[in-house]
């Protein structure tokens, strides 16, 4: 099948490459000529494990082509995916749909046969209606079906998520689109990935409701972690204990410094705005957003408390800056609030991140970057694990202790166990775990 993907950012590129890998003929289009030129040379604009390989393989097989020219690719395609960005609109938090609507206007005159136009970008309820209206207004002859097909990709695991999804949600208003979409995803269908067909507005809401629920789940366990600290319980054991109930499920119950990234913060805010506009407020999500914002700021205070009351002139070394591992994405990362909070208190902040240091430079200033954990630990008063990269899971603690001014380890992702760290003479502070580890069987099972 011939497919055009408009927008070669995160979603478009991963989707285009994976669809080509299924055997479809895919043209990825982007208006950014330098991005397209780099992709033609095999240079990826983002860090995503496995993506370069899959792009190279399918480009070599001529199933995946990159271009800035939309016209020909769209006129020949049976399916056109819109995968451009929908950033938060400045000032009000609504999703900015100007890029999506601009693509709808661009593709309209080039629709020469029955074409399914699919919004893959995360778009508020009703966007599909507007995309269809724009296309029909610009080209009344167009034989088109506009479909909603939200993505559920996680950065860092996007290829796996695309190829082995829990479900594929497809919102249609025109029955003819069902056959085309089934054909697009046939290779996954054979793998028994459920195709969930719904009405278009329902599909649009499924995406937001999924992200909002996950953000709420994380925020729930983060608040439980605070309570654990107050009452002397262990949040990992609580998560394990509740997660075994299949109605709750064990995933997304890792307490931490608050959720970040390009999706949860933006999508929760956009959903809250939509709900307010329709006079049906989502108070749980409003509260989730507020708690998460406060939590990110509170993490700097947690580090300060661990160091002692006054952090002026103290050196704090941060392990990890990106909002999660296996990405170079700094958007809404808790690290940004942590750096700012520590600097406001007068601390000197150093940092190392395996992939995120370039991106960090435009989000935070006056940070001293080092080449590895040991370079930033030298003379430091605290080492803070902010992002749980694998590279930080087996640190050489005797070496770190010899380098540091004060052996304090603040573990904001609960990667380590207190007893293991304390053995090396470190003070250890983590999230939602008792001061002394209690050796019950659940503890070891959960860690
Ligand atoms: C999220 C969703 O997981 C995807 O399903 C969705 O497609 C995507 O948003 C999107 O809308 O495009 P992503 O933002 O890449 O994916 O990352 P997640 O793995 O969901 O993590 C988001 C944040 O939550 C990170 O800051 C992470 O550290 C935090 N998190 C996650 C926790 O603090 N605890 C957890 O248990 C899980």
Mean pLDDT to the nearest integer, 302-331 = 95
Q: Per the residue annotation, which of 18, 228, 263, 363 is the catalytic one?
A: 263
Give dist(CA 158, CA 396) in Å, integer. Answer: 31
Centroid of ligand 1 to alpha carbon of 195 (angstroms): 22
Residue 354 in tokens: 């395996």
Residue 417 in tokens: 């166990």
pLDDT band at 436 (very low <50, low <70, confident <90, very high): low
Report the 10 Å Cβ neighbour count for 143. Answer: 12
Which residue has the least CA distance to atom 35 on ligand 1? Answer: 252
pLDDT band at 361 (very low <50, low <70, confident <90, very high): very high
| CB distance 8 to ligand 1 below 6 Å | no
Please identify, by atom number, the ligand 1 atom nearest to the C-alpha of residue 11.
12
Centroid of ligand 1 to alpha carbon of 216 (angstroms): 11
Whether pLDDT at 340 is above 90:
yes
pLDDT of residue 444: 42
Residue of 259, 291, 336, 430 to test ligand 1 pocket, by largest number of atoms within 8 Å of CB: 259
- Residue 18 a catalytic site member: no
Whether pLDDT at 358 is above 60:
yes
pLDDT band at 439 (very low <50, low <70, confident <90, very high): very low
Half-sphere exposure of 163 (CA within 13 A, CB side): 14
Domain pair 2-198 / 211-429, same fold:
yes
Mean pLDDT to the nearest integer, 326-339 = 96
Q: What are phi and psi of 210, to 5 degrees?
A: -65, -55
Q: What is the distance in angstroms between the CA of the first residue and the CA of the last residue of the chain? A: 46
Which residues, 6 or more positions from 351, have their beta carbon under 8 angstroms from its beta carbon? 317, 318, 319, 321, 335, 339, 357, 360, 367, 368, 369, 370, 376
Which residue did the predictor score with more confidence, 191 or 403?
A: 403
CA distances from 202 to 150, 167, 281, 418 (A): 11, 15, 18, 46
pLDDT of residue 230: 96
C-alpha triplet 247, 248, 250: angle, nearest 5°:
125
Give dist(CA 144, CA 165) in Å, integer. Answer: 27
Please identify, by atom number, the ligand 1 atom nearest to the C-alpha of residue 323.
26
* DSSP tag of 88: B
Q: What are phi and psi of 321, to 5 degrees?
A: -130, -30
Give dist(CA 166, CA 168) in Å, integer. Answer: 7
Whether the Cβ atoms of residue 129 and residue 200 lie closer than 8 Å to each other? yes
Q: Report the topology of domain 211-429.
A: Rossmann fold (3.40.50)
Centroid of ligand 1 to alpha carbon of 154 (angstroms): 6
Q: Domain 2-198: what homologous superfamily? A: NAD(P)-binding Rossmann-like Domain (3.40.50.720)
In the chain, where the domains are located: 2-198, 211-429
Whether pLDDT at 301 is above 80:
yes
Which residue has the least CA distance to atom 10 on ligand 1? Answer: 263
Centroid of ligand 1 to alpha carbon of 319 (angstroms): 19
Whether pLDDT at 437 is above 70:
no
Give dist(CA 330, CA 336) in Å, integer. Answer: 8
Whether pLDDT at 407 is above 80:
yes
pLDDT of residue 193: 83
Whether the Cβ atoms of residue 164 and residue 141 lie closer than 8 Å to each other? no
Mean pLDDT to the nearest integer, 311-332 = 96
Whether pLDDT at 414 is above 80:
yes
Summarised one tens digit per residue, pLDDT across range 247-290 is: 999 999 999 999 999 899 999 999 999 999 999 999 999 999 99
pLDDT band at 318 (very low <50, low <70, confident <90, very high): very high
Mean pLDDT to the nearest integer, 110-115 = 96
Please identify, by atom number, the ligand 1 atom nearest to the C-alpha of residue 156.
15
Residue 446 in tokens: 């959960």
Please identify, by atom number, the ligand 1 atom nearest to the C-alpha of residue 387.
28
| CB distance 107 to ligand 1 below 6 Å | no
Summarised one tens digit per residue, pLDDT across range 78-89 is: 999 999 998 877
């Amino acid at each position: 099948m011939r497919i055009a993907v408009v927008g070669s950012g995160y979603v478009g590129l991963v989707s285009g490459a994976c669809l080509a890998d299924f055997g479809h003929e895919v043209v990825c289009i982007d208006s950014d000529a330098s991005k397209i030129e780099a992709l033609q040379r095999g240079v990826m604009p983002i860090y995503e494990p496995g993506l370069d390989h899959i792009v190279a393989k399918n480009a070599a097989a001529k199933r995946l082509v990159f271009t800035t020219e939309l016209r020909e690719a769209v006129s020949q395609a049976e399916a056109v995916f819109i995968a451009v960005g929908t950033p938060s609109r400045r000032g009000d938090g609504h999703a900015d749909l100007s890029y999506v609507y601009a693509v709808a206007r661009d593709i309209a005159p080039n629709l020469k046969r029955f074409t399914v136009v699919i919004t893959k970008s995360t778009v508020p309820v009703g966007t599909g209606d507007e995309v269809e209206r724009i296309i029909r207004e610009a080209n009344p002859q167009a034989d088109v079906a506009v479909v909603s097909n939200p993505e559920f990709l996680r950065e860092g695991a996007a290829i796996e998520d695309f190829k082995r999804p829990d479900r594929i949600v497809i919102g249609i208003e025109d029955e003819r689109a069902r056959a085309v979409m089934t054909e697009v995803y046939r290779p996954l269908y054979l793998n028994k990935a459920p195709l969930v067909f719904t009405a278009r507005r329902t599909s649009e809401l499924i995406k937001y409701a999924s992200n909002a629920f996950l953000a709420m789940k994380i925020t729930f366990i983060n608040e439980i972690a605070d309570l654990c600290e107050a009452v002397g319980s262990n949040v990992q054991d609580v998560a394990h204990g509740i997660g075994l109930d299949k109605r709750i499920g064990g995933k997304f119950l890792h307490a931490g410094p608050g959720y970040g990234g390009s999706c949860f913060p933006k999508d929760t805010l956009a959903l809250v705005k939509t709900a307010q506009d329709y006079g049906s407020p989502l108070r749980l999500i409003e509260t989730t957003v507020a708690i998460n914002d406060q939590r990110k700021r509170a993490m700097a205070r947690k580090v300060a408390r661990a160091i002692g009351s006054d952090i002026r002139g103290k050196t704090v070394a941060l392990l990890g800056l990106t909002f999660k591992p296996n990405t170079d994405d700094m958007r809404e990362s808790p690290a940004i609030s942590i750096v700012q909070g520590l600097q406001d208190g007068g601390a000197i902040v150093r940092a190392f991140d395996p992939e995120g240091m370039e991106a960090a430079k435009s989000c935070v200033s006056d940070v001293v970057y080092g080449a590895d954990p040991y370079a930033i630990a030298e003379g430091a008063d605290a080492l803070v694990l902010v992002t749980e990269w694998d590279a930080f899971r087996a640190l050489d603690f005797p070496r770190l202790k010899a380098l540091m001014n004060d052996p304090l380890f603040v573990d904001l992702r609960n990667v380590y166990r207190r007893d293991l760290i304390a053995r090396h003479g470190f003070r250890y502070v983590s999230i939602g775990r008792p001061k002394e580890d209690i050796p019950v069987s659940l503890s070891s099972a959960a860690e």
